[in-house]
Structure 1
Amino acid sequence: MNIGDRIKKARLQRGLTLIEVAEKLGKTEATIQRYESGNIKNLKNDTIEELANVLNVSPAHLMGWDTPITPNNIISFAPATVQIPILGKIACGDPITAEENLTGYRYESPDNLPSGHLFYLQAKGDSMEPTIPNGSYVLIREQPEVENGEIAAVLVNGDTEATLKRVKKQAETVFLMPDNPRHEPYVISSDNPARIIGKAIRYTQDL
């Protein structure tokens, strides 16, 4: 927008006609029309100030000096995020990330994520403290097995609830071990079935 455009815009915003502006300045209608066409060679500072007063704007506004200049060679990059589901209780027979199991989402930068199918579980209770604090969000990569001693998300109670425990294997027996010694281990058996659904990668906490 040039100075002529700004003069015209300010005049129209105040509801003034060319004649009214001309009379206030002691100019002719043709002169104001010439200003608005951008033909303002040798326009004196006093005239710019008087014109600004009539139009109720600042001289800097008319000259365009108060308009920030935006470089046209800058490319804006919006940070990409990945939506990762937070799971609550698992509905028996449903896929893990079925809508019925979701309690919300967390958003992560893809640069910080491992490969694979990911979801979050929120730690409830202190059985994995101090390793995993109560209330923290634990990032899980879906996989059916983990190495001995790794922390896993495990389905218990008839595949209806997910818990976080350290998996320990001794011969043919698999234990789900809490890191907090005040809690008892869970021994997987035909009477106490369990199923690993993923490996714990890391946890985060909201302040």
Structure 2
Amino acid sequence: MARKKYTEVEKDLMKGIAKNLRMILTRKGLSQKELAEGTELSTSVISDYLNEKTLATPGSIQKIADFLKVSKSEIDPTFKSNSDQLYTFNKIPLVGTICAGEGLLAEQNIEDYVYYPFPNKKQPDFALRVKGDSMIGAGIESGDIVYIKAANWAEYNGQIVAALINDCEEGMLKRIKWTEGSAAMQLIPENDKYEIKELHPSEFKICGIYMGHFKPVEE
């Protein structure tokens, strides 16, 4: 069976968990085999966690923490140290694909979850996978994952937004601009191959605003 493909953020989390586990095992003088036996997890699962091949599940982390008699936050940095509750806002639903060109916004079904690496900052509401090259001038390429805050309008002139045109689920990631005194809005690509779209507010709607992006790494 093929291994799950992890994002860069998830790989960083795997590395942190593996490092923490190795330090705790060394401190307590325990082996991988003893950890497996004490948690009733297989030796292969423990090996994968320690060798940064698999992202530990919350259930496994609970078993490991109980056996090692440590807090979950000592193993997984996405747990709050003061209450041992998961940062539920740290896992962002990936709900589909938005075309940064001339295509469709996928149905709003959760495909997976991605991590947002800034727990102390305002959290995105969902993430979208980019398809197309209309925003390459902003460093956003096809296949990138963009973090989106749900909103029905831009916070400032020139902001990058996810927009739906004519209620036809024709999703676009574009920069929105307007001019005082003009009723038309501009949805502007960051690639000269694409045309600027001039639309009235009644002809499109904004479903979210851009909060950053990353390039997933495939194994």
TM-score by length of 2: 0.51
* SS of aligned partner of 1:135: coil
Task: Note if contact 1:177-1:185 (Cα within 8 Å) is conserved in structure 2.
Answer: yes
- Which residue does the alignment assign to 2:184? 173
Alpha-carbon distance, 1:195 to partner: 0.5
- Which residue does the alignment assign to 2:48? none
- C-alpha spacing 1:145/1:128, structure 2 compared with 1 (3 Å): same
Separation of aligned partners in 2, 1:112 and 1:163: 29
1:201 aligns with 2:208: no
- Which residue does the alignment assign to 1:120? 127
**Count of equivalent residues:** 132
Alignment of 1:44-83 (within 5 A): 70=28, 75-77=71-73, 78-80=76-78, 81=87, 82-83=90-91
Runs of 4+ aligned residues of structure 1 deviating over 3 Å after TM superposition are 71-76
Alpha-carbon distance, 1:144 to partner: 1.4
**Structure 2 unaligned residues grouped into runs of 5+:** 1-25, 30-67, 79-86, 99-106
Q: Which has the larger radius of gyration?
A: 1
- C-alpha spacing 1:186/1:101, structure 2 compared with 1 (3 Å): farther
| Structure 1, 155-164 or 73-82: larger mean CA deviation | 73-82
Alpha-carbon distance, 1:84 to partner: 0.9
Separation of aligned partners in 2, 1:126 and 1:145: 23
- C-alpha spacing 1:79/1:70, structure 2 compared with 1 (3 Å): same
TM-score by length of 1: 0.54
Alpha-carbon distance, 1:110 to partner: 5.0
Cα offsets for 1:45-74 (capped at 9, x unmatched): xxxxxxxxxxxxxxxxxxxxxxx7628896
Cα offsets for 1:90-128 (capped at 9, x unmatched): 9xxxxxxxx85333221234526424x511111111101
- C-alpha spacing 1:193/1:126, structure 2 compared with 1 (3 Å): same
Alpha-carbon distance, 1:180 to partner: 0.4
Cα offsets for 1:127-159 (capped at 9, x unmatched): 011311121111111111111111001112524
Separation of aligned partners in 1, 2:207 and 2:108: 17
